[in-house]
Structure formats: structure tokens, C-alpha cells
């Protein structure tokens, strides 16, 4: 998003002499040309622009200090996409100057891009193309995620849960939370759907088995964390999982589809018809997946877990595997 934003604003970068990434903070390059309103915001030519990746954990002093160890001499801006408050105390090494920009300045950049961009029509067309692609390529999107999971040796999916929301519901918003990872299980399922006219359609499904919440769900849209956090991992040993998955596959995979019917030019319409999973055709393989979550101590109930997948507050159970 930030690359597209800078491109729309007409910001030009030199990238040859810049490192691509330090401590998971990405460098876009050294500013060669920029619009006047960005100069008024404090940016200038010759300054290196960096972005801290959006994360479920806030940008911290530790991350900043790790970046300062290897950053080259010069003027720098780090755009922290994930938070408003970037008031972090730090000391730059000799020859290095730094500004931290949070959501407020990022919002200003986006606002200027909308008000002053010459490419609004282009952005509208791109959005329409994206919407059309989302509709036409749903199956292809699922399949590409399926293949990505199959290829990766370790998988960690993003959590979009705010633990404070779960704590507020319990009336204990001040309880400190410890970040952990829950180990769940992906089941990659290949098989055929059989239509009403015995038509055969080959499909792939991603099934998530969550033994903490005792849920088995079909997954179609997932976001992954590229660098897995170094956190304790909580795991529940799987028992009779394959049998449980096979018993739930018809509920998850069978589909009722609107299909057009026509008996004459005057009589036509749509009919709901079943496409059923052919259980003889299925192949299943499993793969562990990690989900960022939180551990806290309830004043009444003791240890509890906030599931980063769904925000549910659960009893503490499972086997702590230590630091990953």
C-alpha cells in the first residue's frame, strides 16, 4: 500500500545504495524528488524512508534499537503503520538522524493523495478490476493459498484480535497479557464434488482444526506472518483428528448452488441443487499452524487464554513447548 501511495504522490526514490530491510523494517529508498506538502510535513531530499510492517505486536523500543545498530549514516524517516503513539525514547548513533511517523502523518499522506492526485480515475478503475478479480478468481485464490500452505515448512497466520476487547467484556481490562502462540492444525483436503447430473468438479479445501475452541472450520482467506515471533507455544495433542475431519467434511464441503433451468422461452428460473462431496475421492494431509494469542491470569479463574483466531476467552490447557 505504501509503495502505491508514494507512486501516486509522485515521490521518487534512489534505491541502489539503500539496504532493502533491517530488523524487519523495510527501506523504500532515498528520496530524490518529493511534493511540496511532504516537505512541509518534515520530509526532505536525501532522506531514507522506511516502514515498519503492520503487526499484531506494537512497534517497540527493542525493534527500534535493533534497527539503529545497522542503519547507515544519514537522515531517516520510519513510518509506523500500526499505531498512533510513536513517542519512543531513543538515542541515534553519530551521523544518524531519525523521525518517527505514525498513523496521523500516514493519514495526511493518504488525504493528499486523494485531494491532489491526478490518478483518481486510474485508482477507480483499479478498484473495479480488483473487485471483478475477487469475484472471478475465488477458487484460484483458495488454491493458491492451499499451495502456499503445502510448500511452507512453518506457518503462522495473522491475528486480527485486540485482546483488550476480550478483557473489557470480562471487566478486567487492566489484566496484563503475555503474548504466546497456539499450535493448531491445517487439513489440506483434495476431492471431487458430484453435481446433480453426475458432473464431477475437482476441488481443494483448507480445513482448520482448533482444539482450544473445539471448532473445525473451512478457511478461504488467510493472511500470513512472514517472520514467526519468538514466543512460547501452547499445544494440545491431537486425538482421532483424521476421523473427526472426515466426519465433518460433508457439512463443510457440500454446496447448494443456484442453477438456471428453462423449459421454454417463457418458463425459466433458478433452482437450488446440491453438489455433494465424493468421500471416496478425498485425500487429506495435515500441517501445524501457529496463531498469535495471549495468556493472562484472571483474579477469579486463574490462567486463561485469549484465542487470537476468534477472541474467545478459554481455559488454560495444553502443553507449553517453551520458546520457539
Percent of the chain with pLDDT over 70: 87
Alpha carbons 208 and 223: distance in angstroms, whole number: 14
**pLDDT, tens digit, for every residue of 173-228?**
778 899 999 999 999 999 999 998 889 999 999 999 999 999 999 998 888 988 88
CB of 191 within 8 A of CB of 203? yes
Res 113: pLDDT: 77
3-state helix, strand, coil split of the chain in percent (to 5) is 25, 40, 35
Where b means 16+ CB within 10 Å and e means fewer, 79-90 reads bbbeeeebeeee
Cα distance between residue 65 and residue 139, in whole Å: 43
pLDDT in tens, 113-172: 777 655 556 666 777 777 666 656 666 566 678 888 888 888 999 998 999 888 888 888
> Strands 96-101 and 74-80: what pairing?
parallel
Which pLDDT value is given to residue 324? 41
Q: Provide mean pLDDT across the span 96-100.
A: 93
Amino acid at each position: 500500500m505504501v509503495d502505491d501511495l508514494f507512486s501516486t504522490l509522485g515521490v521518487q526514490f534512489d534505491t541502489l545504495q539503500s539496504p532493502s530491510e533491517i530488523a524487519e523494517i523495510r527501506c523504500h529508498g532515498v528520496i530524490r524528488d518529493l511534493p511540496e506538502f511532504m516537505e512541509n510535513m518534515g520530509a526532505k531530499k536525501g532522506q531514507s524512508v522506511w516502514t515498519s510492517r503492520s503487526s499484531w505486536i506494537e512497534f517497540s523500543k527493542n525493534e527500534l534499537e535493533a534497527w539503529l545498530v545497522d542503519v547507515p549514516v544519514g537522515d531517516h524517516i520510519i513510518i509506523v503503520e500500526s499505531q498512533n503513539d510513536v513517542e519512543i525514547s531513543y538515542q541515534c548513533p553519530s551521523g544518524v538522524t531519525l523521525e518517527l511517523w505514525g498513523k496521523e502523518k500516514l493519514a495526511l499522506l493518504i488525504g493528499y493523495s486523494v485531494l491532489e492526485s491526478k490518478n483518481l480515475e486510474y485508482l477507480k478503475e483499479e478498484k473495479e478490476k480488483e473487485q471483478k478479480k475477487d469475484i472471478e478468481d475465488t477458487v484460484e485464490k483458495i488454491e493458491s493459498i492451499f499451495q502456499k500452505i503445502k510448500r511452507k515448512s512453518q506457518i503462522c497466520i495473522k491475528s486480527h484480535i485486540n485482546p483488550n476487547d476480550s478483557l473489557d467484556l470480562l471487566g478486567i481490562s487492566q489484566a496484563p497479557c503475555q503474548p504466546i502462540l497456539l499450535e493448531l492444525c491445517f487439513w489440506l483436503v483434495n476431492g471431487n464434488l458430484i453435481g446433480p447430473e453426475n458432473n464431477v468438479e475437482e476441488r481443494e479445501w483448507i480445513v482448520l482444526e482448533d482444539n482450544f475452541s473445539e471448532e473445525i472450520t473451512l478457511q478461504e482467506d488467510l493472511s500470513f506472518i512472514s517472520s514467526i515471533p519468538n514466543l512460547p507455544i501452547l499445544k494440545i495433542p491431537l486425538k482421532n483428528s483424521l476421523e473427526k475431519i472426515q466426519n465433518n467434511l460433508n457439512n463443510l464441503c457440500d454446496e447448494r448452488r443456484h442453477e438456471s433451468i428453462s423449459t421454454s422461452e417463457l418458463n425459466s428460473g433458478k433452482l437450488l441443487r446440491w453438489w455433494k462431496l465424493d468421500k471416496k475421492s478425498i485425500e487429506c494431509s495435515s500441517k501445524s499452524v501457529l496463531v498469535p494469542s495471549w495468556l493472562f491470569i484472571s483474579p477469579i479463574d486463574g490462567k486463561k487464554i485469549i484465542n487470537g483466531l476468534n477472541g474467545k476467552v478459554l481455559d488454560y490447557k495444553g502443553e507449553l513447548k517453551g520458546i520457539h
